[in-house]
Structure 1
Amino acid sequence: MEKLILTRLNVLGHPGRMAVFRLLMRRLPDAVPAGEIGQALAIKPSTLSVYLSALCGAGLIGQRREGTSILYSARAQAGGEIVDFLFNDCCRGRPETCAPVSRVFREGFPDMSDRKYNVLFICTGNSARSIFAETILRDQAGERFDVYSAGTRPYSQLDPFALEVLKAKGHDISGLRAKNVSEFCAPDAPQMDFVFTVCDQAANEECPAWEGQPVSAHWGMPDPVKAEGTDAQKSLAFQQAYGALRNRILSFTALPLDSLDRISLQKAVDDIARETPEVTT
């Protein structure tokens, strides 16, 4: 095991290979085609092929074929094995020596009995999917969660089809606005307990170093803003996005947050994206 861990550390010591691994970790539980990885990181196909081969060889990522494409996904367990090795070998398993690591990975989720959980949903434009998620969670469980949404490159206005769907579902849209994710990186911003990306493009981008190590997950789905066709066809795409997010949020609010340790909670929020039906109208 020691030889394998040292190989993995050597592979991740290269900035390009580390960038690929970090992107795939952000995209969990998705598997991502090589072309999308290369485009997101501006890496030439020949160079990317070398990086992917090294990461696969070290057991840091896996691959599978789907039609004519090869899809790549991070092996989260491999990262955990590196942390375990360093904790047990370098720190000799002493919690006081590696206190930050032991707190984040080995203790339960922080006690929230004196306040609500803070949740942030992120997409690129913050005009539809993340706005849906913010609104649905606030209306479903606003007594338990303070909910926010933001975009990595937000539009100036919310999408009119999105607003139409929210109004038709009986949601109050008066306080909704597009926001830049930088608002939530300011010193006076609320500290997040959960951060969810709901679009692939946002997940492909570098994430801020969130204070407090929030639980994060990728709940990616197609962008209804890009739907083509008649107004009825476009409206259907927004209805489907709303339904998919509502299903995921209902699964999230049903989790026994107070009784799950961090590892179990991380697995649970990842499983929501894998197991929850994506289309409901």
Structure 2
Amino acid sequence: MEKVIPSRLTTLGHPQRLALFRLLMRRYPDRLPAGEIAEVLDLKASTLSAYLASLMQAGLVTQHRVGTSLLYMINMAAVRQTFDYLFLDCCRGRPEICASASFAEPAGKVETTHEKYNVLFICTGNSARSIFAESLLRDLAPGRFTVYSAGTRPQSELNPFALEVLNSKGHDTAHLRAKNTAEFTGADAPRMDFVFTVCDQAANEECPAWDGQPISGHWGMPDPVKADGTDAEKSLAFQQAYGALKHRIEAFAALPIETLDRIALQRAVDGIASQNQDTVK
């Protein structure tokens, strides 16, 4: 550890390598192709290759071959090992001096200050996937969660195919509207207990940390709005997105949140993201 940890810290000391590390952390447990990483970070292929090599040599990133493609993913075991080492060695295991003021009990349970757990689903447009997620969780577990959704774009509108799917499934759509994340960042905004991104583009964006350090997860899936073909083919894409989200949200709603500490709960949320990943990507 005496040599491994300094090597990892040195590797992350470079601003662009740190940006790459942060992107893969936001997208965990996704495995990203180099081309997508380069596009998001605006890096040349040769530069990105050098950064990835450094992160892999430090053990922070792993490479996976799928067919003819090389995909990259955070090595979460190494990340936890690094944080554990810093906490136990530098802080001597004293949470009262190492925990940030906004996250004073990192290993504790999620203690909500409201009647129900507040959950926010984020996409770029808040027109389909995040609206599906909001409607599903609200109707699946109305007694446990207060559910919101928002988009990162300044303006958006609900997709008619998404509304058609929701109406056909028996969801009440009268109250739904497209919203921007700015509504949930002000002083009067509800404090979130869980924040999920449901599209890759939203997860790729640099967002400020949410007040209260909510449990976060990335449940990315293809955008049905981009589906081509006939109206029937487009409708099928929306049905598939709805079905994939329904499986994940049913699993989330079934979690015994009250009995899990934050670490176990975060792992459970990440595990849900991994479910059926190959079928929704």
Q: TM-score range by the shorter chain?
A: over 0.9
Residue pair 2:91, 2:97 contacting (<8 A) in 1 also: yes
The residue type paired with residue 36 of structure 2 is E
1:160 corresponding residue in structure 2: 160
| Secondary structure class of the residue paired with 1:191 | coil
Q: Aligned partners of 1:279 and 1:250: how far apart in 2?
A: 17
Residue pair 2:110, 2:261 contacting (<8 A) in 1 also: no
2:231 corresponding residue in structure 1: 231
Relative to structure 2, which stretch is displaced further, 107-116 or 122-131?
Answer: 107-116
1:91 corresponding residue in structure 2: 91
1:242 corresponding residue in structure 2: 242
The residue type paired with residue 253 of structure 1 is A
Q: Aligned partners of 2:44 and 2:273: how far apart in 1?
A: 30
| Residue ranges of structure 2 left out of the alignment (5+ in a row) | none
* Alignment pair present for 1:111 and 2:100: no
Q: Aligned partners of 2:94 and 2:277: how far apart in 1?
A: 43
1:139 corresponding residue in structure 2: 139
How many percent of aligned residue pairs carry the same amino acid? 65
The residue type paired with residue 211 of structure 2 is E
Shift of 1:4: 0.7
CA separation of 1:32/1:104 partners in 2, compared to 1, >3 Å: closer, same or farther? farther
| Root-mean-square deviation over aligned CA pairs | 1.9
1:257 corresponding residue in structure 2: 257
Q: Equivalences for 1:28-47 in 2 at 5 Å?
A: 28-47=28-47
The residue type paired with residue 6 of structure 1 is P
Residue pair 1:128, 1:158 contacting (<8 A) in 2 also: yes
| Secondary structure class of the residue paired with 1:143 | coil
1:20 corresponding residue in structure 2: 20
| Residue ranges of structure 1 left out of the alignment (5+ in a row) | none
TM-score (norm 1): 0.94
Aligned length: 279
Residue pair 1:26, 1:218 contacting (<8 A) in 2 also: yes
| Secondary structure class of the residue paired with 1:176 | coil
CA separation of 1:176/1:277 partners in 2, compared to 1, >3 Å: closer, same or farther? same
Q: Aligned partners of 2:276 and 2:99: how far apart in 1?
A: 36
| Secondary structure class of the residue paired with 1:47 | helix
